[in-house]
Structure 1
């Protein structure tokens, strides 16, 4: 999707993250010689057109004390995955939840949900809550625990 010069400037000014100040859009606006309203309008338009999917904090879970970070993967009926995924995504300890294609016969899982615990017991309790929520509709599941932090970056464009 095409972006204009102002969109490009906003992306370049924010691609390393929004400024950690009380009014981040105002700070970006001042940097670019725009109004905060113009910056927010351009960002909203880029979200509507799909140039930007979302704006979110990307915490370092390890630094926050959450050392047991597990991607839970579930085998549920495809006809129920949207409904079940919405229920799982509403759980307060699930940071993200989505559907992915199966790769049979080795990978039967189609529903993914990330959990974060300070202890292994915390994480396992969260997995048990998801299992209870899904009930018999979950035919099987696994938990894939993180062993290291991967570099997380958003949209990047050159100058």
Structure 2
């Protein structure tokens, strides 16, 4: 999928996140030498073509006072995953929710959600509430608390990397080749 020079510049401008100003698209336009509406239309076009799948937000929970977080996982019957996930995503303390394949015999879980709270007791109570509310009381569950924090950042733009001739290797992070001088 061919990208215009403007689209490449736009992707590079948003890859590290939007500026924290009242009008972030206007600020990006100022850097790129175009209007706010051109930035918005450019992003809309990239979204419509599937070059960008979504724009999202990375919240640094720890800095907001949320000191405990846990990935809560359940072994949910396949036919019930969609309904349970719909309930879980409606809970205010659930920040991520997704389905993943089981890896028997060591990993029986297929539904994951991230819960953040001010302390462990709050997160445990929220995991219990999520289990009851989503009708998962009869499902095997584990609450996996984080032991350390990793750098939080949004996804990087894979399409540019593929267009630049890099190999796509599942599970490997791409690094930009160094040009010979």
TM-score by length of 2: 0.80
**Contact kept in structure 1, 2:84 and 2:135, CA below 8 Å:** no
- The range that moved more, 143-152 or 86-95, is 143-152
Q: Give 1 or 2: higher strand fraction.
A: 1
Unaligned 5+ runs, structure 2: 161-175, 177-181
- The equivalences for 1:71-150 within 5 A come to 71-136=71-136, 138-150=138-150
**Contact kept in structure 2, 1:94 and 1:113, CA below 8 Å:** yes
Secondary structure of 2:64's aligned partner: coil
Count of equivalent residues? 158
Higher relative contact order (CA 8 A, sep 6+): 1
* Structure 1 residues 41-81: Cα deviation after superposition (integer angstroms, max 9, x where no partner): 12122223332232222121111111111111111011111
Name the larger-Rg structure: 2
**Counterparts in 2 of 1:138 and 1:35: CA distance versus 1, 3 Å:** farther
Unaligned 5+ runs, structure 1: none
* Structure 1 residues 18-58: Cα deviation after superposition (integer angstroms, max 9, x where no partner): 11110000000111111111111121222233322322221
Q: Which runs of 4+ in 1 moved over 4 A?
A: none
TM-score by length of 1: 0.90
Q: Distance in 2 between matches of 1:12 and 1:145?
A: 34
